[in-house]
Structure 1
Amino acid sequence: MQYDPKNSVKIPINTLTTGMFVTAIEDSKRVNLANAGRVSSQQAIKQLIDNGIKFAWVDPELSVKGSVFKPAIDPEPEEEVAEDVKPVKKKKLSRFSQQQKAQKIIRDAKGLAQKILSQTFEGKPFELDELDVMADDLIESVLLHSDALHCVSALRTKDEYLLEHSVNVATLLVTFGKYLELPRDMLKQMAIGGIVHDVGKIKVNDKVLHKPARLTPEEFEHMKLHQVFASEIIVTIEGLSDVSRDVCLMHHEKLDGTGYPNGLTADQLPLHGRMSCIVDIYDALTADRCYKQGMSPAEAFKILLSLTPNHLDKELVYKFINCIGVYPVGAIVELSDGRVGIVWTSNSNEPLKPEIKCFYSRKYNRFIDVAFVNLKTSQVKIEKAIAQSQLEVDATRFYEA
């Protein structure tokens, strides 16, 4: 859907209603939204208010009929902020508050994923309403403070792999979909699909599911049945969209037809199905599992590329890497001066020069005072990416804002 920013009207956030088409938001200055669209729910409006948003720009022509617009009284004309002028620092609603919200969203999403698995195990149907709200929250978090969300989701716990994997696949699909400029409704359907995509594993034998070693051919055939189980489970979910079903049932398919459960080929795999294959593999590779340690994003990217073009869509894999960045937020890196830190803030203009939160020195083998290094203005550079499992110290506490 196309819109012209000049047609937008600035309104107080408390007058925003569902159905209005939002093109920009403001807390201290205007931020144009890359994913402009209609407000889908009261929950989305509450999320904006909770994030300190004071005004919204809405396009009356693209909003639903009957919407009432109350323009904000703003006597001072808007001024363009020069690139060399530093914006005034916000109060500490910044990264700390953003990560608090991100932690709650991920915690709630994991709780919902657990509830779905439990109800499925007990043979009870589950409602789509809670998934709808969760998807809206996830989308708003990606749109408003994606760095904080990805930093929180990067911190993994091996014992919670199934839950974290479901939430991370949903988060990555929304992030990837936003990058590809897919409609908001598509982002929502993909997020829901991500949360339920591994629901069939609840019926897999626990000894196979949690085996701390390579599966035998017979065990692998049993594991593959989780997709058959999933197709039986999701058919009972009333109102689940075709896109959500595809994400659930296509994430193990391959372009050359050698995947499962249906052996679909390239011409049978839609965009969202191809995306789910890439995202599922990437998150599985970078996570600690009961039988292996997670690898760094850089190592995972090499494997994704090695699976093209027979298994994965080569063009989409490159777009995915560009989307989350060669050094994704939340990844651990070593700098050229021996310091180790967490990729803290992305830099879309110069993806190889993000901001790093340094906390350890490999040169001196000790923790150091936390320092934020913006590689855009620093002489140091990233030497290499490090998997969390390869780091000699525990970085967990440094993921806190």
Structure 2
Amino acid sequence: MRKKISVHDLRLGMYIEELCGKWMDHPFWKSSFKLDDNKDIVALQQSAIREVWINIAKGLDVVEQAEELSAEVAERVQEVLQQAADITPKVEERVSLEQELERAKKLQSKAKHAVMSMFEEARMGKALPIGEMSTLVDEINQSVSRNPGALLSLAKLKNKDDYTYLHSVAVCALMIALGKQMGIEGALLKSLGMAGLLHDVGKMAVPDEVLNKPGRLTEQEFDVVKSHPVRGWEMLKESFGVDDVALDVCLHHHERVDGTGYPDKLSGDALSLHARMGAVCDVYDAITSNRCYKAGWAPADALRKMAEWQAGHFDAVVFKAFVKTVGIYPVGTLLKLKSGRLAVVTDQSSQSLLKPIVKVFFSSRSNVPIKMELIDMSRSQDVIESVEDAAKWGLDVMKMTGVC
């Protein structure tokens, strides 16, 4: 039996059947689950969700819970809730994009050379330096925790010579950020980061003239490229210290939920959560990066395209969590505000996915630069009117965000 209740009436032991609101308004990647953690109650009460449907056949009812709790237990629950509320904002100590960029630039350079070295070892059939990669994943995790936008913005600055290496770094960072959004932590979160770093190692078995071909691939050449998940899996399974998560993501990051992917045409429950996450992160970084055969899409455009493909390509729950990870307007998106000012997204607001932190710098009405100003759209009277094409305005949004 279902019952709609206020989030303020939630108690441990209840089973939430449905959250009443848009998926972007709540902090969970799932919409039905049993409440067995006080932090989940606090997160719901602090979100934009005001009511939920509970299933009293699977969990406690409001009255039953109230009767069951003694005064002592009720007092203890309230104490724990308050403690959780006090510490929740401090779980991730975020810094501004500008503060993290310098550290991220050094880390990106270090990571690129480390991955280049690892891939060269793979090309020559040598043992992979998994211990070194493990340390690198820890550093990437720390940067993502401080500000995910910094490293992810830098990762877009790829050329045809370093695309494969920086793509691996970017997918590592995206897997970690997505994992955090989905409530994954500890050893599993690190495994996801390692999986992102190693997922394309099989491309070292693909000839450079095919991998970096600027024109359309022949059917035979495409078959060679499509062999890289299996070739990578074969390399990794012989490497000491590579776990099942990395092997799974390497082999299946090109699978699709409708079974039309490769190499095994898996679908439904046959696809692991980790592989579904890898698919989303891999595609997003690929289509937002400049390649030898095409220019990358703007982040907001990429998300719109992925939303169009989502039904057959991506897991719906994972994709929604991914959008919450990078934001409706990811860092680097060029916006036109109702005031006529142009602005570039520099960070996400903690208040709303639809109201990021932006840097205004140009008047479209006067067609002249204006004094730069950082604005949190969640606290501004101005509103976003449209997403703009930077090329149309002759602008380099990476320079505007301070990335380069």
TM range (shorter): 0.7 to 0.9
Percent identical pairs in the alignment equals 34
The residue correspondences of 1:1-400 to structure 2 (distance < 5 A) are 32-34=89-91, 95-386=97-388, 392-400=394-402
CA contact (8 A) 2:299 2:332 kept: no
**Structure 1 counterpart of 2:246, one-letter code:** S
- Tell me the C-alpha RMSD between the 2 structures: 2.8
Amino acid at match of 1:376: S
Give yes or no for contact 1:154–1:330 (8 Å, CA) kept in 2. Answer: no
Using the TM superposition, give the Cα deviation of residue 193 of structure 1 relative to its aligned residue in structure 2, in angstroms: 0.9
| CA deviation after TM superposition for structure 1 residue 172, in Å | 0.8
Q: How many residues in Structure 1 have an aligned counterpart in Structure 2?
A: 324
* Contact map agreement 1:296 1:386 (CA 8 A) in 2: no
Q: Structure 2 CA distance, aligned partners of 1:107 and 1:331? A: 24
Q: Retained in 2: the 8 A contact 1:251–1:277?
A: yes
Give the match's secondary structure for 2:335.
Answer: strand
Relative to 1, partners in 2 of residues 1:309 and 1:234: Cα closer, same or farther, differing over 3 Å?
same
Cα distance in 2 for residues equivalent to 1:390 and 1:222: 37
2: distance between equivalents of 1:290 and 1:375?
Answer: 36
CA displacement at 1:207 relative to structure 2: 2.1
Q: Is the 8 A contact 1:179 1:323 kept in 2?
A: yes
How far apart are the structure 1 equivalents of 2:337 and 2:234? Answer: 49
Gaps of 5+ in 1: 5-23, 36-47, 52-92
The 1-side partners of 2:219 and 2:392 are apart by 30
- Structure 2 CA distance for partners of 1:218 and 1:154, relative to 1, 3 Å: closer
- Give the structure 1 partner of residue 20 of structure 2: none
AA aligned opposite 1:101:
R
CA shift in 2, pair 1:291/1:390, >3 Å:
farther
Deviates more, 1:305-314 or 1:270-279: 305-314
Structure 1 pair 95/305, CA: closer, same or farther in 2 (3 Å)?
A: closer
Aligned position for 2:33? none
The structure carrying a bigger helix percent of its residues is: 2
CA–CA separation in structure 1 for the residues paired with 2:308 and 2:206:
29
Alpha carbons of 1:178 and 1:225: their partners in 2 closer, same or farther (altered >3 Å)? same
Partner amino acid, structure 1, of 2:259: G
CA distance in 2, matches of 1:181, 1:229: 31
The verdict on how the C-alpha distance between 1:322 and 1:127 changes in structure 2, with shifts beyond 3 A counting, is same
Distance between the aligned counterparts of 1:108 and 1:278, measured in 2?
Answer: 25
Q: What per-residue deviation string (whole Å, max 9, x for no partner) do you get for residues 224-266 of structure 1?
A: 0112221221122211010111121111011222211122222
Aligned AA (2:231): F
Distance 1:193 1:313 in 2: 18
The amino acid across from 1:245 in the alignment is L
Give the Cα–Cα distance (whole angstroms) in 1 for the partners of residues 325 and 212 of structure 2. 32
Matching residue's letter, 1:311: H
Go from structure 1 to structure 2 and tell me whether the alpha carbon gap of 1:271 and 1:94 turns closer, same or farther (over 3 Å shift): closer
SS in 1 for 2:311: coil
Summarize deviations over 1:329-369 as a string: whole Å, max 9, x none.
23333333443332112113222111112334444445443
In structure 1, what residue type is equivalent to 2:271? L
Deviation sequence 1:182-228 (CA, Å, 0-9, x none): 12211111111111111111221222211222222222112101122
Distance 1:168 1:279 in 2: 8
Amino acid of the structure 1 residue aligned with 2:387? A
SS class of match (2:226): helix
**CA shift at 1:107, angstroms?**
2.0
SS in 2 for 1:254: coil
Please say if residues 152 and 330 of structure 1, whose CA atoms lie closer than 8 Å, have aligned partners that are also in contact.
Answer: no
- Bigger mean CA deviation after superposition, 248-257 or 373-382: 373-382
Going from structure 1 to structure 2, the CA distance change for 1:259 and 1:3 (only over 3 Å counts) comes to same
SS in structure 1 opposite 2:378? coil
Residue by residue over 1:56-108, the C-alpha shift from the partner in whole angstroms, topping out at 9 and shown as x without a partner, is xxxxxxxxxxxxxxxxxxxxxxxxxxxxxxxxxxxxx9654422112222222
For the residues of structure 1 that align with 2:392 and 2:218, how far apart are their CA atoms?
27
Gaps of 5+ in 2: 1-35, 40-82
